[in-house]
Structure 1
Amino acid sequence: MSDPNNAKSTSSGRLIYTVGYAGHDRESLLALFKAHRITAVADIRTFKRSSYWTAFDSDSFGPFLRENGIAYVFMGDVMGGKPQVPELYPDGQLDYGLMADQPDFKSGIERLVSGAEKYRICLMCAERDPLDCHRTLLIAPPLKDAGLDLCHLVDGRVESQAETDARMIAINGGDVPDLFAAAAPDPDAEAKLALARQIKRVAPKAEDAIKRR
């Protein structure tokens, strides 16, 4: 794990953090943000309220952060991991590829990329481990493609995206498709396979994600 005050960014200087609030209270999470000099929090939960972690309900937690000098924006309506759109669950499980192609999601990525020029952003969701959350499995890839580096705040430590990817490969590695079948072997084949397997493991099912009205 890296030193929290010496996280490396890309050559562009753009860096985005992520965190899951599970296991925290307001004060401990605020202290974590302060320790890592976070200046803006992007809330990427689908729903603004939690039946369990009520201290982090958007309507009260957002003002709490602003009172403490940290900007807050709710982006779960366009980047939430449990979209309320049945068509995004073609086989009963959320298809991250379909969601990543949604215009609103792409606009959300553009907002984060632009915001990273001005703010030190932390993406906030509920899951403690980034491997269990769409912030890593859905949002991280397009941010990486846009030239941003990611760091995950896990149990008070900083885990780089490279370290997260290595854990994902260790959990889901093996049985890589025959690379000799391709004219040019894909050096990222193992990582892509591990990502696909992790998504299959944790992506939400429609019956659990979509609220019944």
Structure 2
Amino acid sequence: MKEVFTIGYAGFKINEFIRVLKEYKINSLIDVRSNPISKFYEEYNQKNLEKLLSSTGMIYRNYRKEFGARQEDKKYYKNGYLDFNLYTQSNNFLEGIRKIEAGTKSNYTFVFMCAEKDPSTCHRNIMVAREFYKLGYDVKNIRSDGSYESQESMEKRLVERYFPNRNQLTLFSESISWQQMVKRSYDLRNSEIGYRIDEEAGVNWQVI
């Protein structure tokens, strides 16, 4: 089965970060930050990270255009925040998928990197990795202790968050399937974490 990883660098010191990538035999890192600079983790700034990964034989690429959470085109901000369902149908996003699929066939093992420790709070999973999961990829979300969480497990956590009383439905409650709960949970999370536009100031490229 095809596989793809995700990771949040905030949970790692840089040496441990590199060790974990090697442990999973990852050879290509896809940085999905729209602005690949960190105020608090300078070793993860684009130039520093790219140089370090290169020295260990890994490839670094920034896919802000394809997979970034902050897109400039306001048509993707349907409700004031980036609509993941809408943006994942864009030409840029689909081109990103095409490039990853081509790389996978050429024996590259990819990890999508952003900042947050928990994949359920980051667009690297809720927007990006979700689409690869739908394409049949085995998505492995690397935790800060070096273990990983499957996409199925992460989805169960989302449903537990948004449908905690799902087993207590009454005769008067609307019937909803598991898949509907999963989809609704992704949408609710999108509404919480989706990047929001200030209509007067435009897109705020905040460094995080």
User: TM-score normalised by the shorter chain: which range applies?
Assistant: 0.7 to 0.9
1:74 CA displacement: 1.1
SS at match of 1:188: helix
Deviating above 4 A after TM superposition, structure 1's stretches of 4 or more consecutive aligned residues are: 174-177
Partner Cα separation in structure 2 for residue 147 and residue 159 of structure 1 = 16
Task: Please show how residues 42-57 of structure 1 align to structure 2 within 5 Å.
Answer: 42-57=30-45
Partner Cα separation in structure 2 for residue 153 and residue 84 of structure 1 = 29
Per-residue displacement from partner, 1:172-192 (whole Å, max 9, x unpaired)?
Answer: 12579834xxxxx75511111
| Residue among 21, 29, 34 paired with 2:17 | 29
Partner Cα separation in structure 2 for residue 113 and residue 186 of structure 1 = 31
Q: Which amino acid counterpart does residue 154 of structure 1 have in structure 2?
A: R
1:49 CA displacement: 1.8
**Aligned counterpart, 1:153:** 142
| Residue among 186, 190, 197 paired with 1:199 | 190
Contact preservation (8 Å) 1:25, 1:55: no
Partner Cα separation in structure 2 for residue 50 and residue 74 of structure 1 = 14
Contact preservation (8 Å) 1:113, 1:148: no
Partner Cα separation in structure 1 for residue 16 and residue 160 of structure 2 = 31
1:86 CA displacement: 2.5
Partner Cα separation in structure 1 for residue 202 and residue 140 of structure 2 = 27
Q: 192-201 or 100-109, which moves further after superposition?
A: 192-201
Q: Could you say what the CA RMSD is over the residues aligned between the two structures, in angstroms? A: 2.3
* TM-score when normalising by structure 1: 0.83
Partner Cα separation in structure 2 for residue 140 and residue 89 of structure 1 = 20
Confirm or deny that 1:89 pairs with 2:77: yes
Q: Which amino acid counterpart does residue 194 of structure 1 have in structure 2?
A: S
| Residue among 195, 198, 210 paired with 2:203 | 210
**Aligned counterpart, 2:51:** 63
Number of equivalences: 196
Specify whether residues 171 and 105 from structure 1 end up closer, same or farther in structure 2 by C-alpha distance, changes over 3 A only: same
Contact preservation (8 Å) 1:38, 1:120: yes
| Residue among 107, 116, 120 paired with 1:131 | 120
SS at match of 1:37: coil
Confirm or deny that 1:103 pairs with 2:94: no
Partner Cα separation in structure 1 for residue 15 and residue 67 of structure 2 = 26
* TM-score when normalising by structure 2: 0.85
Partner Cα separation in structure 2 for residue 111 and residue 135 of structure 1 = 16
**Aligned counterpart, 1:72:** 60
SS at match of 2:5: strand
**Aligned counterpart, 1:190:** 181
Per-residue displacement from partner, 1:92-144 (whole Å, max 9, x unpaired)?
Answer: 21111221121011110111122222111111111110001111111123212
